[in-house]
Amino acid sequence: MNTPKRRIVFVSYRDWANRIVEALKEDGHEVLHVSTKAGLTRAAVDAFAPDLFFMAGWNWFVPAELYEEYLIIGLHPSLLPKYRGGSPIQNQIIAGERVGGVSLFQLTEKFDEGPLYGQEQMPLDGHLDEVLDRITSTGLKLFRKLVTDYPDLKPVLQDHSQATLVKRRTPEESELSAEKIASMTAGELYDFVRCLEDPYPNAFLRGKDGKKLLIKRAELEK
């Protein structure tokens, strides 16, 4: 059976999410790509008249007038309801998680709590660019399934009793102080550095002159 061609609004600005947008365009779908908060307006969405409305790799609050009118499906890079909230990739890796995942969920007024429209596990090992590549490929697989099966794909409610909530990390939390280094194993230091590789605020040391020494990449001795 041929996949129906859809009109899709896709909100994203991060590179790994933009690759999903390009793949959906190559599949033959007509995509309105919104990459800024200012561009995410009810008028623009109404004028496009989408069949589907997706979001991935964004960090803005969505206006209620949009999620109350449209079924908006967001991508969250964790196995919801675990690691709801900000910086889920970094928070999982720093916590020592070895397996994460990608979840597609409906945006509602409650943060990351909407019904699930797809979910798949993926490993969290390797450098950050490798992790982001897995999120792209896994997310694209789930979005393609949703495009094919919509509107017959039935959502699954999250088990809120299993939820964990994390906060968005700040750039200053990337500092490796002498006290922090002394409390960490080599593996924990490696995880800290690799989850803060570009494009995120890199791990850094601060010299006595106050300047930051950025740690762009590290390798763990085998």
Predicted local distance difference test score (pLDDT) of residue 1 = 53
Angle at the Cα of 4 (from 71 to 101), degrees rounded to 5? 55
Give the Å distances, CA to CA, from 60 to 31, 36, 104, 120. Answer: 20, 9, 17, 24
pLDDT tens digits, 136-180: 999 999 999 999 999 999 999 999 999 999 999 999 999 999 999
Q: Check: CATH 3.40.50.170 for 7-166?
A: yes
Residues in the chain with pLDDT values less than 70: 1
DSSP 14-42: SHHHHHHHHHHHHTT-EEEEE-STTT--H
pLDDT tens digits, 196-215: 999 999 999 999 999 999 99
Q: Boundaries of CATH 3.40.50.170 in the chain?
A: 7-166
